[in-house]
Structure 1
Amino acid sequence: MTGLWTVTPTIPPRVDYELAEMGRDILRPISALASSALERREQVAAARRTYERAC
């Protein structure tokens, strides 16, 4: 099982999903990667402009 879900008997039907332990374990490195990318977005944009001018 890759995730957990709970079905609530309502109309319309409702399903709530949550991450399993393996999914929760990977959140820390994924969050770190996302934060790093956001912190460096101006540097990446500048590098892209430099590259595009050189082409």
Structure 2
Amino acid sequence: MLTPADRHAGQGQRIDTARQADLDAAYQAHPERFPNGRPHPPHQPERVWINPTELHTR
């Protein structure tokens, strides 16, 4: 997950890339810990709201 500040600053892609590198290193070191194969960072939604207005729910 990204912080709101990270998302607002446009850092999501950079953080996901770094997170993927860490996950790849962990997978290479101990593939037995990942029974479902190579792990991936969680999907980041395009937009998020705390209280969406009617306009945002369409």
In terms of Rg, which structure is larger?
A: 1
Give the structure-2-normalised TM-score: 0.33
Give the structure-1-normalised TM-score: 0.34
| Structure with higher helix content | 1
| Structure with higher strand content | 1
Which structure has more relative contact order (CA 8 Å, sep 6+)? It is 2
